[in-house]
Amino acid sequence: MSDHFHNPKDASATNSKLLLCSLFITVSFMIVEVIGGVLSGSLTLLADAGHMFADAFALFLSWFSIIISQKPADNQRTFGYHRFQVIAAFINGISLLALTLWIIYEAINKIYNPTPINGHILFYIGALGLIVNSISFIILRQGNHEDMNIKSAIIHVLSDLLGSLAAVAAGIVIIFTGKVIADPLLSLFVSLLLLKATYRLIINSGHILLQGAPSGLTAETIIDEIKKYIPEIKNIHHFHIWSLYTGKNYITLHINLAKEEHDYSKILKKTKEILHDKFDIEHSTIQIEYDECIDLDC
């Protein structure tokens, strides 16, 4: 087998440390919220603790995917282990979806069957959550924003910030008005916001796993651009473009030339320059042909 492997770049040690720090903060406060939710009878606190559990799981997977992605490519996995980042994001999305749907169900049940809630406990723990989640957010903002794991972690922490804000608001309403329905209503509102973000996470990661075309890139656009600058091309076929993970795009294609005497190496070099300069595609596999495609599945 060829020695040419697609070795992954070294994963960022800084990102790994930031994720671990945020994970510790998230798990610690999640325990506090569970205790506070049980003592106060607040669904908002328990729902936010559920969010933080999902976020802790997401942070762990993000951290673990960085560790795994450092493994070099080998004979069995010539692309390396970077795709694990996308798998982690997809798993995070599915678990968040299940959790969010459960919280929505519980919130609706609480609306029709309200229970007593200690507004003071709800307020104080929610306020503490705002502080804790803000610290976690600031920590993660120091990471590389182009890293899928850091992006995912930031979104999760922002959802926790919303949950803490909802707890504070519900606590204030209950303290001054006694209307405990504010708790499940705000919990429902935050869950619906989380549902939208969860949907995007599942769709985006699922699209990459299905080897869909990267966002903003289509076969028609790329083919037209190549043919515009290389008139010797008769047609382009057997075209495939996909992402290994966010920001790392690959392309394979066949170029059919009108005449056999064309300078193949010149056309190949020009095509690769167009793909790199116009579409930021660094890795391309191009087959140049004359007259007809020689592959059996063309």
pLDDT, tens digit, for every residue of 230-253? Answer: 888 888 998 999 988 777 899 999
SS (H, E, C) 110-171: HHHCCCCCCHHHHHHHHHHHHHHHHHHHHHHCCCCCCCHHHHHHHHHHHHHHHHHHHHHHHH
Lowest-pLDDT choice from 23-27, 71-75, 208-212, 279-283:
71-75
**CATH class of the structural domain 13-209:** mainly alpha
Nearest to 225 by CA among 184, 173, 279: 279
pLDDT tier at 160 (50, 70, 90 boundaries)? confident
Indicate if the pLDDT at residue 175 is higher than 80: yes
Q: What is the mean pLDDT of residues 146-163?
A: 75
Q: Say what the pLDDT of residue 144 is.
A: 65
Q: Which CATH superfamily is domain 219-290 in?
A: Cation efflux protein, cytoplasmic domain (3.30.70.1350)
* Position 22 pLDDT exceeds 80: yes
Q: Please identify which residue in the block is written with the tokens 């795009």.
A: 249
Q: Is the pTM of this model over 0.85?
A: no
* Whether pLDDT at 8 is above 60: no
Closest CA to 56 of 10, 12, 103, 99: 99
pLDDT value at position 145? 59
State the chain's mean pLDDT as an integer.
Answer: 82
- pLDDT tens per residue, range 127-137: 888 888 888 88
- CB atoms under 10 Å from CB of 109, counted, come to 12
Show me where the domains of the chain are located: 13-209, 219-290
Whether residue 237 contacts residue 293, with contact meaning beta carbons closer than 8 Å, is answered with yes
- Across residues 21-31, what is the average pLDDT? 86
pLDDT reading at 271 higher than 90: yes
Q: How confident is the model at residue 2, as a pLDDT? A: 42
Q: Span 215-230, mean pLDDT?
A: 90
Task: Say how many C-beta atoms besides its own lie within 10 A of residue 48's C-beta.
Answer: 34
Average of per-residue pLDDT across 144-160: 72
In the chain, % of residues over pLDDT 90: 14
Say yes or no to pLDDT of 115 above 50: yes
Q: Is the pLDDT of residue 205 over 70?
A: yes
| H helices, E strands: number in the chain | 8, 3
Q: What pLDDT, in 10s, does the model give residues 52-84?
A: 787 788 788 888 887 887 788 788 888 888 888
SS3 7: coil
Largest CA distance in the chain: 86
pLDDT at 251: 94
The pLDDT value recorded for residue 298 is 61
Q: At 245, list the tokens.
A: 């993970």
pLDDT of residue 5 exceeding 70: no
pLDDT grade, residue 161 (50/70/90)?
A: confident
